[in-house]
């Protein structure tokens, strides 16, 4: 067995998990970019995972159809719950979406005949290949990059800056918020569908409060100033537990300390283009001063 094959046999699932976590971080980045602190992404991931898994297990649906179903189901739910909840903002929106996540978890637990209840779904066919994950991440990054540079992206920035002022300028705040919310749900559902067909098993506890906080941490840690931030944050949050595995019981403590230090000293996240520009200007100013001297 070659070195690469040996590495892939040991860390293949971890590498693919990096891709699905990047999708999750990008899904919440989209809502944060529109000024919404929505915490329903873990629930949308669960809806997508169960929808896709049920399509392949019960109906022998092709993988592409299962992925489409895993994106369509949370998008439809997001459109339905978005009508009342997107009237809220800030911590009230976060509380409402957290409550929705708990409703989803309890619903999964109490529909044993469909979802397997607390035992979850076992024997999901392992259909996710490495190129599925890579292609999904590349497509999502490209679409979000194009959206960010478009009129829609500028509307998102305006709403995040001042929702009232954006409305006075003629921007349809409700429609843009709904678009970001539904699109974020679709991306989270795609991540759930890919992950379900990677791990053989899914259960309701995988999509609870802890996962929701983890998804938010990925985006905040990496920084929401650009698309590279959520991807970087997802990489750190996914790899850090593996790097700290030798600390045994102190691993979670060390993980928390590292995150607190980064947040204290880098409040805009690790990837902050504005900070990089300031450093460049300071460096150029210092060089200019030396030349003048």
Cα torsion angle, 267, 269, 272, 276, sign:
positive
- What is this structure's pTM? 0.89
Between CA 23 and CA 17 the distance in angstroms is 10
Between CA 141 and CA 148 the distance in angstroms is 10
Q: In this predicted structure, which of 2-16, 103-117, 229-243 has the lowest mean pLDDT?
A: 2-16
202 near 119, Cβ under 8 Å? no
Is pLDDT above 80 for 251? no
156 near 33, Cβ under 8 Å? yes
Structural domain contains residue 243: no
pLDDT digits (tens, 9 = 90+) for 116-165: 988 889 989 999 999 999 999 999 999 999 999 899 999 999 999 888 89
Q: How many CB atoms lie within 10 A of CB 217?
A: 18
230 near 218, Cβ under 8 Å? yes
The two three-digit tokens of residue 33, written as one number: 């970019």
Structural domain contains residue 246: no
| pLDDT attached to residue 263 | 73
**DSSP 8-state symbol, 200:** S
Between CA 229 and CA 15 the distance in angstroms is 18
Structural domain contains residue 157: yes
Is pLDDT above 60 for 288? no
Nearest to 74 by CA among 52, 56, 89: 52
First-to-last CA distance in the chain? 62
Is pLDDT above 60 for 1? no
Structural domain contains residue 53: yes
207 near 214, Cβ under 8 Å? no
pLDDT digits (tens, 9 = 90+) for 11-60: 778 888 999 999 999 999 999 999 898 999 999 999 999 999 999 999 99
| pLDDT attached to residue 13 | 82
271 vs 109, more confident:
109
Structural domain contains residue 119: yes
Containing domain of residue 161, as a range? 14-208
| pLDDT attached to residue 264 | 81
Total structural domains within the chain: 1
Structural domain contains residue 271: no
Residue 48 CB contacts under 8 Å (≥ 6 apart), including other chains: 70, 71, 73, 74, 188, 189, 190, 191, 192, 193, 196
Structural domain contains residue 123: yes
290 vs 146, more confident:
146
49 near 76, Cβ under 8 Å? no
| pLDDT attached to residue 255 | 63
Residue keyed to tokens 């998990």? 17
């Amino acid at each position: 067995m070659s070195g690469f094959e040996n590495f892939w046999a040991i860390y293949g699932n971890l590498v693919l998990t990096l891709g699905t976590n990047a999708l999750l971080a990008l899904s919440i980045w989209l809502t944060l970019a529109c000024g919404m602190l929505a915490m329903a992404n873990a629930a949308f991931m669960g809806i997508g995972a169960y929808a896709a898994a049920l399509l392949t297990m019960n109906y022998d649906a092709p993988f592409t159809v299962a992925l489409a179903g895993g994106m369509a189901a949370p998008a439809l739910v997001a459109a339905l719950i978005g009508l009342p909840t997107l009237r809220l903002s800030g911590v009230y929106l976060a509380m409402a979406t957290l409550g929705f996540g708990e409703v989803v978890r309890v619903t999964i637990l109490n529909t044993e005949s469909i979802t397997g209840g607390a035992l979850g779904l076992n024997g999901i066919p392992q259909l996710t290949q490495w190129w599925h994950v890579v292609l999904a991440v590349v497509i999502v990054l490209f679409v979000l990059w194009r959206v960010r540079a478009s009129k829609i992206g500028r509307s998102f920035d305006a709403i995040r800056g001042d929702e009232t002022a954006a409305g006075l300028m003629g921007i349809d705040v409700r429609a843009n918020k709904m678009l970001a919310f539904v699109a974020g749900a679709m991306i989270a559902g795609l991540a759930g569908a890919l992950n379900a067909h990677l791990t053989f098993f899914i259960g309701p506890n995988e999509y609870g409060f802890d996962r929701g906080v983890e998804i938010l941490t990925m985006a905040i840690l990496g920084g929401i100033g650009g698309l590279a931030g959520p991807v970087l944050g997802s990489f750190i949050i996914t790899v850090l537990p593996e790097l700290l595995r030798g600390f045994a019981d102190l691993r979670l403590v060390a993980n928390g300390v590292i995150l607190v230090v980064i947040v204290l000293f880098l409040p805009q996240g690790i990837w902050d283009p504005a900070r990089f520009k300031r450093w460049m200007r300071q460096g150029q100013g210092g060089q200019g001063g030396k030349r003048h001297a």
